Structure 1
Amino acid sequence: MLLVKLLLLQSTNIILITRMLIIYNISIKLYYLLAIIASNFSAKAKAWVNGRRTQKVTPLPKSIWFHFASLGEFEQGRPVLEQAKLKYPDHKIVITFFSPSGYEIRKNTVFADTVYYLPLDSAKNARQFIEAIKPSIVVFTKYEYWYHYFNELHKRQIPLYVISAIFRPNQIFFKWYGGLHRKILSKVTRFFVQDEASKDLLKTIGVNNVLISGDTRFDRVFTNAKSPKALPLIETFIEDQKVFIAGSTWPPDEDLIIPLIERHPDWKFIFAPHEIGEDKILRLTNAIPQSKIMRFSEFPRMTDISGYQVLVIDNIGMLSSLYQYGNMAYIGGGFGVGIHNTLEAAAFGIPVIFGPNYERFKEARDLISLRGGFSISNAEELKKLTDKLVFDNEFREATGHICSDYVNKSKGATELIMTTLLR
């Protein structure tokens, strides 16, 4: 009787997963259709669609394949990518991106032999792509779990590793209806997770091939802070004054920061907005007296920058080096979907401030508990906190030391991961 019940339960699970796979396949096609429609109105969607339509995948004898959702995940997985290129000189390095923001900026990276948009997740695409690049090892960073790619790798017995992974109870893997997504996880050779909580969560659904390695971002930001790229034009602008850096900001962040400019006239302010479209830049620059503000692109034709208090970075790629000149940093995104990279600033030993939406980010929670990072919810809270950091040098320096010490003690994930990959 028990055997019959078990067989019925197994049969029911198979039926549910089959139905969910049908829904999954339909959802993928629907997503593509919506992207095509959006491409008529959005440059980003257009790049996403056209990039996949026009690319041709070059056949390779053998490779190591790294996949990144976007630019942030590339920087996160970069330490492992660099080590793999050194340790496997006889393999080609293949990188795929899901997002145009990653692909367009890193399509010519020296760390890869070829860079592609990840073809849409279908059984046919997965089979053809994997057959073409012939990966010996596959590494996904943090997240993105694609059923057909994972299934095809599993069928071919190609090792698949997910590094710097982090899991939360509200994810679909841990819901009653998450059978298909739990099946995707079963295709992974090993998970390298950021914390104990992630390992414990995976254990509740029978996933035990898990190693706590920490987050490879710590290795990346630590290395960057030790040898940052010098920015002479920034040094010219600063003129030995204290600097407030607003990194990856959105309009709600900028609206809170702008009043601080007049409040602290002896400080320089540098904005590096998350989006640098002309409309976004003009919105910011028009909100600040023109006698105080300049754009980075204006430097070549400026003969006298004395008197300018605010600089707006209207290009991409400088932010990780900008933090070396900061005395405190505000990290944007906390009034939207979530904060951006706090570790880049923390590695340079400066206090970090961010909005209220930070709970999904372990490093932000850690910095708050250590009193190296601070979350604010409104302009008044930001004003009080900034005043404290501006006028109390001892407090600001002690807080910055907490941040750099946290980064220093948390590095080492890359070495642990490479020990496994080199077996």
Structure 2
Amino acid sequence: MKGLKTPAYRQRIFERLGFINNIPVPIIWVHCVSVGEFRAATVLIDQLILNYSDHRILVTTTTPTGSQAVLEHYQSEVLHFYFPFDLPIIVNRYIKQINPAICILLETEIWPNLIHALNKNNIPSLLVNARLSQRSLEKYQKFAPNLAWKTLNKFTTIATQNQNSANRFIELGADTSKVVAVGNIKFDQNPVADKTISKKIQSIAGKRKVVVFASTHKGEEAKIIDAYLNHKDNIDALLVIIPRHPERFNEVYKLAQKHQLNVIKRSSNKPCKDCDLLLGDSMGEMMSYFDVADIVFMGGSLNNTGGHNMLEPAALSKPILFGPNVFNFAEISSDLLERGGSIQASNADDLFKSIAELLADTKAAKALGKNANQYFKSQQGAVDNLIKQVESALHP
């Protein structure tokens, strides 16, 4: 439905309908729905390129921003198409054209018609970095229990991020022999900031400390701005808000102006000596924002989105804050809290109290970031485990 409403989704529509060129070489197909999943998958894709030089890697995405990220990152090193609509006639046409040796789906991409078609054609399929929250489990059990277990058991392997997700997939009906907890590939990332970009952002901030609000959603920015205005006297720092969706950049800019904040856009490249807020309206610069940050808040957690990936700032030893709703990252957020690597705020007002305390206590902020980084490093190794699963599926 989104493709009918959003012009960007109608571009290259024939790919989504399965009208793609035949590929006469062995293919390893990797699907990542959007930018976040693709970013996480690069460590796996890099290893696939290295280990399977006799294959071409095909990376598909659903969103236009995901497509842009693939093309910018790999250029011609991998093949790239949009993911097909999950209708039998379309997925069968798609599979016939690419004839993959294996299909690797990331995280929660469970598409019944595609998985059935792969199974029917004896093509191994892996759900990797798989996660299943308690909330999602209950929804499947309530609305589609039969479809869920039938689909799950057509996978060759379901490789989960942790044992809790593995247990939930089994509870949903997946055969225990198909489910294995291998760890989260996001811990195997080696996120590197572009120092040239970091310097540009730092020059905008000047000598002030920087508080980054990453991947915010509709409704969150208003809460953040209201709370900031209430605590402004105790916040001697530049706020940087980076909305999750680019189409909302102007909306957030106007919201800040409406509240009479002195706001500039990152795209303007102007210094920000006296401004309150920098709007991160640039693409592909998140690691540089994290790099210059003194404190990072992960969005999608003050509303009901369920939070976003906290591991990139953890990799850079940044103190991490998030709101009450982090059900998409329940285990990671719980582990970070337990290890003293993050702070969870109950609301926006509580959030700014914590920000003020950390700005005033540099030692506490650094300890928080150090603990986050130690946790990040302790969880690495999933990619090596996944390569073994891929090899086993290709050569049973």
TM-score range, shorter chain: 0.7 to 0.9
* Aligned CA-pair RMSD: 2.5
- Match of 1:135? 100
Moved more, 59-68 or 271-280: 271-280
Q: Within the alignment, does 1:275 sit opposite 2:245 as a pair?
A: yes
Give runs of aligned pairs for residues 206-225 of structure 1, distance below 5 A.
Answer: 206-208=174-176, 209-220=178-189, 223-224=190-191
Moved more, 148-157 or 79-88: 148-157
2:312 to 323, 329, 344: 344
Give runs of aligned pairs for residues 233-244 of structure 1, distance below 5 A.
Answer: 233-244=200-211
Q: Within the alignment, does 1:401 sit opposite 2:356 as a pair?
A: no
Structure 1 pair 55–115 and aligned structure 2 pair: CA distance change class (3 A): farther
The one-letter code of the counterpart of 1:117 is Y
Q: Indicate if the aligned counterparts of 1:173 and 1:182 stay in contact, CA closer than 8 A.
A: no
Structure 1 pair 125–229 and aligned structure 2 pair: CA distance change class (3 A): same
Listed one character per residue, the Cα deviations across residues 213-269 of structure 1 (whole Å, up to 9, x for unaligned) are: 11111112xx01xx3211221121233432111111234332333353733453222
Distance 2:51 2:255 in 1: 46
Q: Within the alignment, does 1:99 sit opposite 2:63 as a pair?
A: yes
SS of 1:306's partner is coil
Give runs of aligned pairs for residues 2-401 of structure 1, distance below 5 A.
Answer: 34-35=1-2, 38-39=4-5, 42-47=6-11, 52=16, 56-110=20-74, 112-170=77-135, 171=137, 172-175=139-142, 177-204=144-171, 205-208=173-176, 209-220=178-189, 223-224=190-191, 227-230=192-195, 231=197, 232-258=199-225, 259-260=227-228, 262-264=232-234, 266-277=236-247, 278-287=249-258, 289=260, 292-299=262-269, 302=270, 305-334=272-301, 335-361=303-329, 362-401=331-370
The one-letter code of the counterpart of 1:191 is I
Distance 2:184 2:18 in 1: 35
SS of 1:360's partner is helix
Q: Sequence identity of aligned pairs in percent?
A: 23
| Structure 1 spans left out of the alignment, 5+ residues | 1-33
Report deviation, 1:98: 2.1
Q: Indicate if the aligned counterparts of 2:221 and 2:252 stay in contact, CA closer than 8 A.
A: no
Q: Indicate if the aligned counterparts of 2:308 and 2:326 stay in contact, CA closer than 8 A.
A: no
Q: Indicate if the aligned counterparts of 1:359 and 1:365 stay in contact, CA closer than 8 A.
A: no
- Match of 1:17? none
- Count of residue pairs the alignment pairs up: 379
The one-letter code of the counterpart of 2:186 is R
SS of 1:422's partner is helix
| Structure 2 spans left out of the alignment, 5+ residues | none
Distance 2:382 2:255 in 1: 38
Structure 1 pair 94–372 and aligned structure 2 pair: CA distance change class (3 A): same
